[in-house]
Amino acid sequence: MERTEYVAYGEPAYPEKLKKIHARPPGLYVRGKLPDPEAPAVAIVGARMCSAYGRSKAREFGRVLAANGVQIISGLARGIDGCAQEGALEAKGRTFAVLGCGVDICYPRENYRLYEQLIREGGVISEYPDGEQPVNWHFPARNRIISGLADLVLVIEAKEKSGSLITADLALEQGKDVFALPGRVTDPLSMGCNRLIAQGAGIALRPEELLEGLGIPFGKSDGKSKKMKIPLEKNEVSVYACLDLVPKSVDEIMAVTALPIQEVFQILLSLQLKECIEEAAKGKFVRRDFPV
Amino acid sequence: MFSSVLSACVCGIESVPVHVEADISDGLPVMNMVGYLASEVKEAQDRVRSAMRNTGIRLPVKRITVNLWPADIRKAGSAFDLPIASAILGALGMVPADRLVNVLIAGELSLHGEVNPVNGILAVAAGAREWKCDCCIVPKQNAREAAAVPGLTVIGVQTLAEVIAYLNDETALQPEYVNPEELITEGEAEGGMDYADIIGQEAVKRAAEVAVSGRHNLLLIGPPGTGKTMIAKRIPTILPRLSMEESLEITKIYSVCGLLQKEDGLIRKRPFRSPHHTVTMNALAGGGRIPRPGEISLAHLGVLFLDEVPEFSKPALEILRQPMEERVIHIARNRGNYTFPADFMLAAAMNPCRCGFYPDMEKCSCNTAEIKRYLGKISGPLLDRMDICAEVPGMEYERLTDRRKGESSAAIRERVSIAHEIQRRRYEGTPFRYNAELTPAAIGRYCTLGKKEEAFLAAVFEKLDMSMRGCHRVLRVARTIADLDGSNRILTKHLSEAVMYRMGDRKFWH
């Protein structure tokens, strides 16, 4: 059983970055480690109910940034937060979660696997003592710690009214850079991000741009972002070609490719096995890792 | 003078013989009825008395005693009026006693002496044949129904006077005759429903075909208004035609429930039952003080369709589990235990979330917890019994205006029948009938894979994070797909398709 440690303000371990922010927490409860003050840190935040596009992008940014030595700070929430942290762990990078409850409580529960992995390979941080329940007013407050621990905040997907925008506002108050992932103007989930860009936030086209913003030479690719040559058969290519990040049903695929249903089923499964596509919801398919 | 007539009482969906005796003796002029009678049977004496007077028969100023035995069965229903009247007539010597031997009589009387129809005649007639009766006298309106029992002379009567005349050989009544084969084919038109009516939705239609072929239970998921109900309603049109025995079995149930259309005789179409989601446990399973078949029995040999499954009450859904295994339902009440047949195919439909639009993020207004709560209303054990899960997607306008007809139900039914035949031959002498019934041990026997396929399944198992149970489900469905293909071996393409029918989103379900 992992022990919770307490780092009070004034102790040497207390993060330097937090000392500077408004309403700094008097102390932090930690399981695992605290972020390395020497290494750069990026907070990746976004909607809990996100699209396949957001999920895939969050994972990619988390992975590429972490592979280049950037620490990923997030909130272990469903959706974008969890995906970004999973991406970072995939690249064997370090990632830290700031919770809105005691660090002995895994909230949301379905991220338990991630929570345990974070304790082993990164850290789980909170200003609340053990046993404190995740009540809703804790979450806006913990956002100041997420942005406070980071050098740069990246918003992946956010509706017009979103907790992620609170994090972005706090980051600006704290004098950090804010980047947002652009999306289609008609997508409600991209409204918040597009609005941030209109207000002057950086445009996160590719992870490399963020690295540049942090002054890190882009060296290591994560090995996955590179165009991989997966040998596909002719029909597989035509099915793959008609998919994008908007979920498509088997019927729509059949209408475009004019292939018989059994063949479409077979191709969809083999593409899933080759990790080219995934089933976003029952019977709806999207591409994985849309190349930028 | 004493006289006895055979009648029958319906218990569950079977009938038990009841002997109606009448005795006329000196004493005060009263009519006494004994033999554990329900109040509608006790009331029979007033109906019988009036009907006889209005037929022109004067009851003698004597004591009349009527007994119904066996006395330990509670007699209920209105079918005892006519046998009671006949027994009294026999005791009065107005009909010859030898004409009341080996005859079963059932029917309700009006005060005017007319014979009214009753429920459950098919069960009674089936009993009559079993007890080796020569002849069965029933109300005219029930005669076609009773005549469906082969090898039984059925006389349909309209008035009490007619009965007296017939038993005294004064008039000759033609026995009712129906040609069962004709009846069956007569009912061919499926109410104008056909799969050709459905535009697009090829994937779902295919899923329905596979489900019907192996008798797998089917779960349809999709946003509102995409045709889930339409597709489910047409499942009976691709199920193989009813055989005579099956038709009789179903008719018996409907007869007991009084759901037979007048003059219909036999149920000739596979039933499609779609109870509303407010249905109670008892209405679904069958029940009541004197148990009557519920929706699951009314769907016997047909389709039970649960629209909006998550809205059904939990106890109502859970009650389905045991009959789905045993294909019958046992109902215990203080008056005895009843067993009703309940061999149905379950089709269920649901929205993917409360608002119905997940995973369309532009329209869906639910959050993860809400989606989880919504899907969580269906229990794991019930989901385990759903082998095939298919998404019914919304369609674009261009496709809706596409007037090209899809494949007709008749063509699909042809393939389904062949697949059923293959299964019948394969499972001869085993307790199984369809692929969906295979137990894990039997899967090892009947769903063997080649080396290549084995490796493929292992890869899929690993990659898609399937459970052992999910794997069994895939194998059962793959067996059916191979049968549809006419292939003895299960090939990779069969496995691929089966995998696509597995339960979606493990995030939300286990």
Which of A149-153, A234-238, B60-64, B363-367 is the least confident region?
B363-367
- The distance of Cα B36 from the centroid of its chain, to the nearest Å, equals 30
pLDDT at B394 over 80: no
Write down the pLDDT at residue A151: 93
pLDDT at A78 over 90: no
Whether residue A272 and residue B366 make contact (CB cut-off 8 A), yes or no, is no
Instruction: State the smallest CA–CA distance between residue A292 and chain B in angstroms.
Output: 22
Instruction: State the smallest CA–CA distance between residue B505 and chain A in angstroms.
Output: 6
Whether residue A283 and residue B504 make contact (CB cut-off 8 A), yes or no, is yes
Whether residue B497 and residue A262 make contact (CB cut-off 8 A), yes or no, is yes
Write down the pLDDT at residue A223: 53
Write down the pLDDT at residue A129: 94
Average pLDDT, chain B: 88
B349 touches chain A (CB under 8 A): no
Which burial class, exposed, middle or buried, applies to B424 when counting CB atoms under 10 A from its CB (0-12, 13-18, 19+)?
exposed
Smallest Cβ–Cβ distance between B500 and the set A269, A275, A280 belongs to: A269
Instruction: State the smallest CA–CA distance between residue B321 and chain A in angstroms.
Output: 24
What residue in B sits closest to A47 (Cα-Cα)? B367
Write down the pLDDT at residue B507: 47
B386 touches chain A (CB under 8 A): no
Q: Which amino acid is at B247?
A: S
Q: Which domains does chain B have, with CATH numbers?
A: 2-178 (3.30.230.10), 190-509 (3.40.50.300)
- In 3D space, the residue among A114, A103, A130, A41 whose CA is nearest the CA of residue A77 turns out to be A114
Here the tokens at position B6 are 């055979």
Residues 6+ apart with CB under 8 A from B232: B208, B218, B220, B272, B274, B303, B305, B307, B347, B349
Helices and strands: H and E segment counts in chain B: 22, 18
Q: Chain A interface, mutation test: which of B202, B221, B353, B361, most A Cβ atoms within 10 Å?
A: B361
CA gyration radius, chain B = 28
What is the C-alpha separation between B11 and B76, in angstroms, rounded? 9
Whether residue A254 and residue B362 make contact (CB cut-off 8 A), yes or no, is no
B406 touches chain A (CB under 8 A): no
B231 touches chain A (CB under 8 A): no
Whether residue A261 and residue B206 make contact (CB cut-off 8 A), yes or no, is yes
The secondary element (H helix, E strand) that includes residue B314 is helix B314-318
Q: What is the mean pLDDT of residues A153-176?
A: 91
Whether residue A273 and residue B459 make contact (CB cut-off 8 A), yes or no, is yes
What percentage of chain B reaches a pLDDT higher than 90? 52
pLDDT tens for B308-342 read 999 999 889 889 988 988 889 999 888 778 899 99
**pTM as predicted:** 0.78
What is the C-alpha separation between B191 and B178, in angstroms, rounded? 22
B357 touches chain A (CB under 8 A): no
On whether the CB atoms of residues A51 and A158 are closer than 8 A, the answer is no
Residue B164, SS3 per DSSP: helix
Whether residue A279 and residue B393 make contact (CB cut-off 8 A), yes or no, is no
DSSP per position, B105-149: E--EE-TTSBEEP-S-HHHHHHHHHHTT-SEEEEEGGGHHHHHTS
pLDDT tens for B3-62 read 999 999 988 888 999 999 999 999 999 999 999 999 999 999 999 999 999 999 999 999
Residues of chain B with Cβ-Cβ distance to A188 below 8 Å are 361-362
Whether residue B505 and residue A282 make contact (CB cut-off 8 A), yes or no, is yes
Residues of chain B with Cβ-Cβ distance to A247 below 8 Å are 359-360
Which of A103-107, B109-113, B356-360, B380-384 is the least confident region?
B356-360
Write down the pLDDT at residue B179: 74
Whether residue B359 and residue A284 make contact (CB cut-off 8 A), yes or no, is yes
Instruction: State the smallest CA–CA distance between residue B306 and chain A in angstroms.
Output: 19
Residues of chain A with Cβ-Cβ distance to B507 below 8 Å are 110
Write down the pLDDT at residue A249: 86
User: H helices within B404-464, ranges in order?
Assistant: 409-426, 440-446, 451-463
Residues of chain B with Cβ-Cβ distance to A273 below 8 Å are 459-460, 463
* Residue A225 pLDDT grade (very low, low, confident, very high; cuts 50, 70, 90): very low
Dihedral sign of CA atoms B43, B45, B46, B51 in order: positive
On whether the CB atoms of residues B496 and B507 are closer than 8 A, the answer is no
Instruction: State the smallest CA–CA distance between residue B312 and chain A in angstroms.
Output: 22
pLDDT tens for B66-123 read 999 998 888 988 999 999 999 999 999 999 988 999 999 999 999 999 999 999 999 9
Write down the pLDDT at residue B258: 85
Residues 6+ apart with CB under 8 A from B43: none
- In 3D space, the residue among B239, B237, B234 whose CA is nearest the CA of residue B220 turns out to be B234
Residues of chain A with Cβ-Cβ distance to B393 below 8 Å are 249-252, 283-284
On whether the CB atoms of residues B475 and B443 are closer than 8 A, the answer is yes
Whether residue A110 and residue B206 make contact (CB cut-off 8 A), yes or no, is no
What residue in A sits closest to B200 (Cα-Cα)? A251
On whether the CB atoms of residues A75 and A81 are closer than 8 A, the answer is yes
Here the tokens at position B38 are 């329900």
Here the tokens at position B462 are 């690993």
What is the C-alpha separation between B383 and B221, in angstroms, rounded? 13
What is the C-alpha separation between A116 and A105, in angstroms, rounded? 11
**B345-350 and B218-221: which strand pairing?**
parallel
pLDDT at A282 over 80: no
Write down the pLDDT at residue B273: 93
**Helix (H), strand (E), coil (C) string for chain A:** CCCCEEEECCCCCCCHHHHCCCCCCCEEEEEECCCCCCCCEEEEECCCCCCHHHHHHHHHHHHHHHHCCCEEEECCCCCHHHHHHHHHHHCCCCEEEECCCCCCCCCCHHHHHHHHHHHHHCEEEECCCCCCCCCCCHHHHHHHHHHHHCCEEEECCCCCCCHHHHHHHHHHHCCCEEEECCCCCCCHHHHHHHHHHHCCCEECCCHHHHHHHCCCCCCCCCCCCCCCCCCCCHHHHHHHHCCCCCCEEHHHHHHHHCCCHHHHHHHHHHHHHCCCEEEEECCEEEECCCCC
**Helix (H), strand (E), coil (C) string for B250-272:** HHHHHHHCCCCCCCCCCCCCCCE
What is the C-alpha separation between A255 and A273, in angstroms, rounded? 23
pLDDT at A239 over 80: yes
The secondary element (H helix, E strand) that includes residue B18 is strand B14-25
CB count, 10 Å around CB of B224? 11
Instruction: State the smallest CA–CA distance between residue A236 and chain B in angstroms.
Output: 14
Whether residue B503 and residue A48 make contact (CB cut-off 8 A), yes or no, is no
Write down the pLDDT at residue B11: 87
B361 touches chain A (CB under 8 A): yes
Provide the β-strand partners of residue B11: B14
Whether residue B359 and residue A48 make contact (CB cut-off 8 A), yes or no, is no
Cα–Cα separations (whole angstroms), residue B200 to A225, A249, B203, B392: 37, 12, 8, 10
Residue B449, SS3 per DSSP: strand
Instruction: State the smallest CA–CA distance between residue B152 and chain A in angstroms.
Output: 51
Whether residue A272 and residue B464 make contact (CB cut-off 8 A), yes or no, is yes
Binding-site residues on chain A for chain B (CB distance < 8 A): 48-52, 78-79, 108, 110, 186-189, 247, 249-252, 254-255, 261-263, 265-266, 268-270, 272-273, 275, 279-284
Write down the pLDDT at residue B469: 81
pLDDT at A84 over 90: yes
Provide the β-strand partners of residue B350: B221
Whether residue A252 and residue B361 make contact (CB cut-off 8 A), yes or no, is no
- In 3D space, the residue among B145, B85, B148, B139 whose CA is nearest the CA of residue B117 turns out to be B139
Write down the pLDDT at residue B369: 76
What is the C-alpha separation between B493 and A228, in angstroms, rounded? 26
On whether the CB atoms of residues B284 and B295 are closer than 8 A, the answer is yes
CB count, 10 Å around CB of A33? 18
What is the C-alpha separation between B197 and B406, in angstroms, rounded? 7
pLDDT at B233 over 70: yes
Write down the pLDDT at residue A149: 94
Look at the block and give the residue holding tokens 């992992």: A2
Residue B476, SS3 per DSSP: helix
- ipTM exceeding cut-off 0.90 for this assembly: no
Look at the block and give the residue holding tokens 């490796």: B455
B208 touches chain A (CB under 8 A): no
In this predicted model, which residue has the larger pLDDT, B261 or B9?
A: B9
Q: What is the mean pLDDT of residues B284-295?
A: 88
Look at the block and give the residue holding tokens 């980047």: A179
What is the C-alpha separation between B229 and B223, in angstroms, rounded? 12
pLDDT at B186 over 90: no
Smallest Cβ–Cβ distance between A281 and the set B203, B463, B504 belongs to: B504
* Residue B160 pLDDT grade (very low, low, confident, very high; cuts 50, 70, 90): very high
The secondary element (H helix, E strand) that includes residue B391 is strand B388-391
B497 touches chain A (CB under 8 A): yes
**B135-139 and B328-333: which strand pairing?**
unpaired
pLDDT at A289 over 70: no
What is the C-alpha separation between B66 and B63, in angstroms, rounded? 10
Q: Chain A interface, mutation test: which of B453, B496, B501, B503, most A Cβ atoms within 10 Å?
A: B496
What is the C-alpha separation between A58 and A80, in angstroms, rounded? 6
- In 3D space, the residue among B419, B484, B496 whose CA is nearest the CA of residue A250 turns out to be B496
pLDDT at A292 over 50: no
- Calculated CA dihedral for residues B36, B42, B44, B50, nearest 10 degrees: 140
Smallest Cβ–Cβ distance between A269 and the set B206, B393, B496 belongs to: B496
Residues of chain B with Cβ-Cβ distance to A110 below 8 Å are 507
CB half-sphere exposure, B254, CA atoms < 13 A: 26
What is the C-alpha separation between B369 and B364, in angstroms, rounded? 13
